[in-house]
Structure 1
Amino acid sequence: MGGEKKATAERLAAYSDAVFAVIVTIMVLELEAPDRPSFSALVPLWPTAISYAVSYLFIAVIWINHHHLMRFAGEPTLGLIWTNFIHLFLVSLLPFATSWIARTGLASAPMVFYAGLFVCIDIAYNVFEYRVLARADHLAERPRRIARRRSLAVLAIFVSAACVATVAPRVGFGLICGGLILHLRPEAGR
C-alpha cells in the first residue's frame, strides 16, 4: 500500500511537470522573429523579450516550489488533486497574458490582467501549499510559518501590482518581478 501511495503522489507530480513543460513550449511558440536581418530589428521586441523572461521565470519558480512541496505531499487527497488542477489551469493562461502584454508594450489593461492572473495563480498555490503542509506531520512549525508568511507577502505584492498597473503598468510589472524574488528559493523543510 505504501508504494501505491507514493506512486499516486509521483503521478500527480509527473502530470504537473508535463503541464508545465507544455506551457513553456506554448510560450516559446508565441515568440516571433523579426523580418529584417539586423540586430536593430530586435529593439522593438523588448516588451516581448522581457515579458517572456519574467513569465518563464514565474513558471520556473512555480515548478521549483511545486516540486519542493510534492516531497511533503504524501497520498494526495481529492481536494489536493483538484487544487493542483485549478492551479495548473490558471498557469496555463500565462502564455495568453504574456502575449497580450508583449503585443501591447506593457499597456495598462493587459498589465492589470497579467498581474491579476499572478494573483489568482498565487492564491491557488497558497491553497495547494496549505493543503500539503497541513498534512506534513514531520515538518517543524518554523519552516511552515516561514513558508506561510512568504506566500502571503508575495500575494500582497501581486495584489499591489494589479492595483498599481491601472495607473503605472511598468511599476506594476516591476512589483511582479520583486514578488518573484521572494519565491526563488523554497524555504519549507529547511
Structure 2
Amino acid sequence: MQVEHKTTAERLALFSDAVIAVIITIMVLELKAPEENATFSALLPLWPTAVSYLISYLFIAIIWLNHHHLLHFVKYVTPGLIWGNFVHLFFVSLVPFTTAWIARTHLASAPVALYAAVFVCIDLAYCVFERLAFEQADASELPEHVRRMARRRSLITLMIFAAAMLCAMAAPWAGFALICCALFTYLVPELRILHVTDKPQT
C-alpha cells in the first residue's frame, strides 16, 4: 500500500512538472524577435515583454520550488490534494495570457490589475494545497511554529497581491512593483522546512 501511495505522489509531482514546463514554453513563444531590423536598438521597444516575462518566469520557478518541498510531506494522495493541485495549476496556466497582455499594453492599468488578480487566485489555491500537505506531517516533521510562519506568510502575500490589484487601477507601475515584492516572500521556503525535508532518511 505504501508503494502505491508513493507512486501516486510521484505521479502527482510528474504531472505538475509537465504542466509547468508547458506553461513556460507557451510563455517563451510570446517572445517575438524584431522583424526586418538587425540592430540592437530594435530590441528597446520590447522591454515590456522582457520585464513581464522575467517576473512571470521567476514566479513560476518559485511555484515549482515550493510545490517540490510541499510534496515531501505528502505520505498519500487524497482527492482533495489532487483537485487542489488541479485548481492551483489552472490559475498558473493563466499567467502566459496575462503576461502577454501587460507586455503588449506596456503595463496598462486593467492588464496589471488582472495580472494581480490571477496572482491572488494562485495564492489562494496554493494556501489550500499547502494546508492539505501540512495535515499529513506530524509534529516532529513540522513543528507548530513553522506552521504558523507558513500561515502568516500566506496571509501577508495574499494581502500584498490584493493591494496590488487595487493599486494597479490608479497606478499600474506601483501595482506591478507590489507584485514583484510579494514574489520574494516565497523565494525560499522556510529554513526549517528545508532542513527537515533535506535530512537523510533513517
* Structures share fold, TM-score greater than 0.5: yes
Shift of 1:101: 0.3
**Corresponding residue for 2:6?**
6
Q: Deviations over 1:43-96 (max 9, x none)?
A: 111110000000000000000000010111111110110010000011011100
**Corresponding residue for 1:118?**
119
Structure 2 length normalisation: TM-score?
0.92
Shift of 1:169: 0.5
Give the secondary-structure state (helix, strand or coil) at the position aligned to 1:71: helix
Shift of 1:151: 1.2
Mark the runs of 5 or more structure 2 residues left unpaired by the alignment.
196-202
Give the 4+ runs in structure 1 shifted more than 4 A.
Answer: none
Cα distance in 1 for partners of 2:7, 2:155 equals 31
**Corresponding residue for 1:15?**
15
**Corresponding residue for 2:27?**
27
Identity %: 62
**Corresponding residue for 2:55?**
54
> Quick one: which amino acid aligns to residue 189 of structure 2?
P
Cα distance in 1 for partners of 2:142, 2:64 equals 21
Cα distance in 2 for partners of 1:11, 1:175 equals 35
Cα distance in 2 for partners of 1:74, 1:179 equals 30
* Superposition map of 1:67-82 within 5 A: 67-82=68-83
Larger Rg: 2
**Corresponding residue for 1:129?**
130
Cα distance in 1 for partners of 2:174, 2:113 equals 11
Cα distance in 2 for partners of 1:69, 1:12 equals 12
User: Is 1:103 aligned to 2:104, yes or no?
Assistant: yes
Q: Deviations over 1:166-190 (max 9, x none)?
A: 0000110000000011110011624
**Corresponding residue for 2:163?**
160
> Quick one: which amino acid aligns to residue 159 of structure 2?
A
> Quick one: which amino acid aligns to residue 11 of structure 2?
R
Q: Deviations over 1:15-47 (max 9, x none)?
A: 000000000000001110112111111111111
Cα distance in 2 for partners of 1:97, 1:143 equals 33
Cα distance in 1 for partners of 2:38, 2:125 equals 43
Q: In the alignment, which of 167, 170, 173 is matched to residue 170 of structure 1? A: 173
Give the secondary-structure state (helix, strand or coil) at the position aligned to 1:75: coil
Cα distance in 1 for partners of 2:38, 2:155 equals 46
**Corresponding residue for 1:141?**
144
Give the secondary-structure state (helix, strand or coil) at the position aligned to 2:80: helix
**Corresponding residue for 2:199?**
none
**Corresponding residue for 1:182?**
185
Cα distance in 1 for partners of 2:14, 2:63 equals 14
> Quick one: which amino acid aligns to residue 170 of structure 1?
W
